[in-house]
Chain A
Amino acid sequence: MTFQSILFENPAPVAPAPDVVLQAAFLTDLQLSQIIDTVTAGREAYGLKPYFYMPLTSVQSIKYRHGIMRDLRTGGLLAGIELFAETMRSMRDQLEQGAKLSYQGQREALFLETVEIYCAAVNTLLAALQRADVGSAGFAALRKFLSGYVASEYFRTLAAEAKNLRTDLAGMQYCFRIKGGRVTVAPYKSERDYSVEVEQTFRRFQQRAAKDHCAKTSVYLEMNHVEAMVLDRVAKLFPEVFAALDLFNNRNLDFVDPTIDRFDREVQFYLAYLAELKLLQEHGLQFCYPQVSQTSKEELVQDTFDLALADTLVKKNAPVVCNDFSLTGTERIFVVSGPNQGGKTTFARTFGQLHYLASLGYPVPGGQAKLFLPDRILTHFEREEDLKDLRGKLTDDLVRVHDVLNQATSNSIVILNEIFTSTTLSDAVFLCREVLTQIVDRDLLCVCVTFIDELAALSGSTVSMVSTVVPDNPAVRTFKLERRPANGMAYALVLAEKYSLTYGRLTERIGS
């Protein structure tokens, strides 16, 4: 297999333009936009967002990415790849800087350095791949490609010429004398270092570590005209080297290999997510490679959480509550009810995020996850804007739910959050029943957050999940959902939590 892309198996699609932005309801509703922003923050230059809008549709392509992730996380590759990426970044910075210089002698020298950095980056990457215990098809293909590239005539010549030029330039030494307004450049003849003599004279007074009085050298890369005149004369002292430098520039204008360039961009898709994953893992949260299926709708997830919320909480050092859920046999629909502020919406988002992150080939929040791979995720979350016109809002709700159901195939996931809140209870019960019945009939995977308890027992495919909360102190969100019949609240438990006397809290208190 010829290596094409670290994100896609062959044939890889053309790399997307970097600045595509997708506006889609499910991205906002599930706070995936926020997750994408967080994950890609600081990596804007790579144009990663478009890749987040390309969910994978086959188990095979997801496994390709899992392989890459495994190599990065456990194969000892990460540090090498990060060094490669950093080197490539400084190579591009250098290239950009060089283009702005006005003196040719400077431009050409900076170009040489850029090429050297590029060669170092390529060698770093190859070395990392050779050193690591690479298990993925993607990295194996990349390694093969790179070995070939590094051994190629083009690359070998490029590196050798750069090295020779560097040696020549670094070895140059010259003298100049300033007297009044006249400057004379001359070869260096091993004249004595006068500062050393002065230093030696006064050495006997040496006390403790001395303060440094050296002036900082100017930060401008660009020379002034006097320096340029000196450089001109230095070039006259060493004409062969400067001619060789000129030739090197002209021959190697497009030195960056397009496949390496694409890898440099695309591998960031993994690194970006790994950085977030590491942050959350440091706070005791777990991630796992989901076992995905295009056929089975049985699901089992343990210790999962809302990634967007967790990111916020962790940065405030607040605890994150994890949830479990499972669907077995013919179970397809979670009906989530219970008191507000208890994590119902969070659960709905978590469910959606999990499936979407899985379809991106990422490890997902949780200690264990078995998931269905949907063709798409459709959401309907309550919109708060139009509260004035209730009739209009119900119409709007109905239209949107209708659209959702229209777009859904039997392989889609539907997430409904507080639908039909703008009508009477009996209307709402009726409408919800109708909608859910359709969903049941079409065998869709679904989460339905509702205040209507009786929906929970609609059919054999519904599972009732109930949120829990401390009613006297709504600021204390438990965010814990429990699988049990929707029979209002378990007051005894709530009371116990209020006094921190549940089994868990009490053992914790006694233990501390």
Chain B
Amino acid sequence: MKAYLMYPDQDFDVSAALGKNAKELYQDLELGVILDAMAGGDEFLRDIAGRGLLGILKTPQAIEYRQQILIDCLEQPAVIRQLYSLAVEAIEAEKHVYHSIFSNYPSSVLRTSMESLKILVKVLRKLRQVADDNATSFRSPGFTRFFGMLADQLDDEYFSTIANHLKTLEFRNGVLISAGLGKANQGTNFTLRSPETNQQNWLERLFNQDRSTLTFQISDRDESGFRALAELKDRGINLVANALARADDHILSFFSLLRAELGFYVGALNLREKLSGKGQQICLPKPEAMTAELCLSLCGLCDASLVLTSSRQVVGNDVGGDGKALVMVTGANEGGKSTFLRSVGIAQLMMQAGLFVVATYYSSSVCDGIFTHYKREEDTSLVSGKLDEELARMSAIADEISPNCMLLFNESFAATNEREGSGIARDIVLALLKSRIRVFFVTHLYDLARGLYGQDLPEALFLQAERQDDGKRTFKLVAGEPTATSYGEDLYRKIFTSEVPERVQRA
């Protein structure tokens, strides 16, 4: 039995190692804010949200599978939360089963497993009930399959078979064990047997013949004899205890997986609530196959992490970038360049995780992986050391990245003079484009932007932070030829004439 709520044919692997770029993505895209919103204070949900977000899907079909489930979730939040709490209930209840310190003895493994199974079977019944009550109001293939499976696999007859086993395993008639001869004639291959009904009488007669030479009785005073007998019995029930303990494990891991998979959608519900609290619009993005022509089209795209933390209305961007493998963003400082870059990174991640995005429209080709290369502010070492560090990071990315990936640069390679930095960056960018990697590059390296613009690359799009004539920023990006200044003068004036003192240090 599999929940298959994250993938149509695959478990949600919550122990898989995250990609080598995960740490950078988390830091550069400020994913912490989004994960906090999804977690709603629950560490488990935060972990699951992170894994869901970073373990991106790579085909539109896989994304649509989740999107359809997500629609069911958004429409039936109460049922989703109820299912989730059943999974939590099963796991929590099992924790209270007493695990003896002698738990390595088959008899106590058996006892513990039986106790635990009784609890889990109860929750399974409740789960079946929820399925029975709500199946018709869910339309996604994922949930249709899931509820169908519950109805099919957990029918009443099955529950009664389990009950019978649990009764048999009380061993009220003693245990019948078969064995063979092993090393030094020790008993081996101990196997618990269930006597055939037509044999029952024959065996009973034999076992009841007190004087049979094949029977012996341990004397009541023979304590070591009774211990030895218990050991013998333990060997006989070893396999059945193992089978039952495994069943117990499996059911438990079914619930664990269910909890994880539903947890992702509970996170999505939490995020939606936070966003709608801010009055923010969301939409289901439209993923395009990477085989088709490159697609990038967005409308009202906001940086989700900024929306969640800002008290003001956030300005969304519109970009028509179909066919553009390179998006070069230049222009005014504090003009929303970094915010735009982050909004694209987050939206692409969320789309490929099967989530909604914070935009009125977002459509993009799926990519095989998302990487970030950001200037590291905290690095205060020598200039040459800094460039060295940036190139080392770039080299590490090059080890991991492959065609059809996406790479976001933010003010990279500016740790040297403009000419050198531009030269390095240009070679890297052109090499990446040649390797069919999508590049988003925010830079104030005019030489770089201007140089690339001059090459008339059909796959390049140049955006600039908009600046009105009065020097005021709209935080909107507009397409156009890169201009030589980043309007630092504006910023200087703004800082030194108004009262925003914390910016002085960084200017």
Contact = CB atoms under 8 A, between A and B. Distances in A.
Nearest to A192: B194
B41 interface: no
Given A181-B226, A194-B240, A202-B243, A236 B214 contact: yes
Given A194-B194, A215-B238, A221 B229 contact: no
B207 interface: yes
A182 B233 CA distance: 12
A183 B242 CA distance: 24
Given A177-B177, A179-B173, A182-B215, A211 B229 contact: no
B126 interface: no
Contacts of B240: 194-195, 198
Contact of A213 (B183, B203, B225, B241): B241
Contacts of B187: 227, 230-231
Nearest to B219: A181
A198 B244 contact: yes
Contact of B218 (A107, A181, A184): A181
B239 A186 contact: no
Contact of A188 (B178, B216, B251): B178
A182 B222 CA distance: 12
Given A192-B194, A192-B196, A193-B193, A199 B232 contact: no
B216 A182 contact: yes
B181 A109 contact: yes
A404 to B, nearest CB: 59
Given A205-B247, A207-B254, A192 B180 contact: no
Contact of B253 (A173, A188, A207, A225): A207
A172 interface: yes
A208 interface: yes
Contacts of A184: 206-207, 212, 214-215
Interface in B167-189: 168-169, 173-181, 183-187, 189
A318 interface: no
Contacts of B218: 181-183, 226
A101 interface: yes
B257 interface: yes
Query: Contact residue range for chain A?
Result: 35 or more
A173 B305 CA distance: 70
Given A178-B175, A205-B247, A186 B203 contact: yes
A174 interface: yes
A174 B206 contact: no
A172 B180 contact: yes
B11 interface: yes
Contacts of A213: 109, 113, 241-242, 245-246, 249
Contact of A221 (B186, B245, B249): B186
Contacts, number: 210
Contacts of A107: 184
Nearest to B226: A181
Looking at chain B's contact residues, the main secondary structure is helix
B165 interface: yes
A236 B207 CA distance: 16
Given A174-B178, A179-B174, A201 B214 contact: no
Contacts of B242: 195, 212-214
B250 interface: yes
A185 B214 contact: yes
Nearest to A183: B216
Given A179-B173, A198-B247, A225 B225 contact: yes
A176 interface: yes
Interface string A223-237: 111110111011011
B207 A177 contact: yes
Given A172-B180, A186-B206, A206-B250, A177 B185 contact: no
Contacts of B231: 218, 224
A54 interface: no
A177 B214 contact: no
Contacts of B162: 201-202
A205 B231 CA distance: 30
Interface in B100-140: 104-106, 109, 113
Contacts of B382: none
Q: Which of A98, A108, A213, A223 has the most CB of B within 10 A?
A: A213
Given A207-B11, A211-B246, A223-B186, 15 more contacts: A101-B184, A106-B185, A169-B185, A177-B176, A178-B233, A181-B225, A189-B196, A194-B240, A195-B240, A198-B169, A202-B162, A202-B243, A205-B247, A213-B113, A225-B228
Interface of A: 98, 101, 105-110, 113, 169-170, 172-186, 188-189, 191-199, 201-202, 204-208, 210-218, 221, 223-227, 229-231, 233-234, 236-237
11 contacts: A109-B185, A110-B184, A197-B194, A198-B169, A199-B247, A202-B243, A210-B249, A215-B106, A215-B238, A230-B232, A236-B213
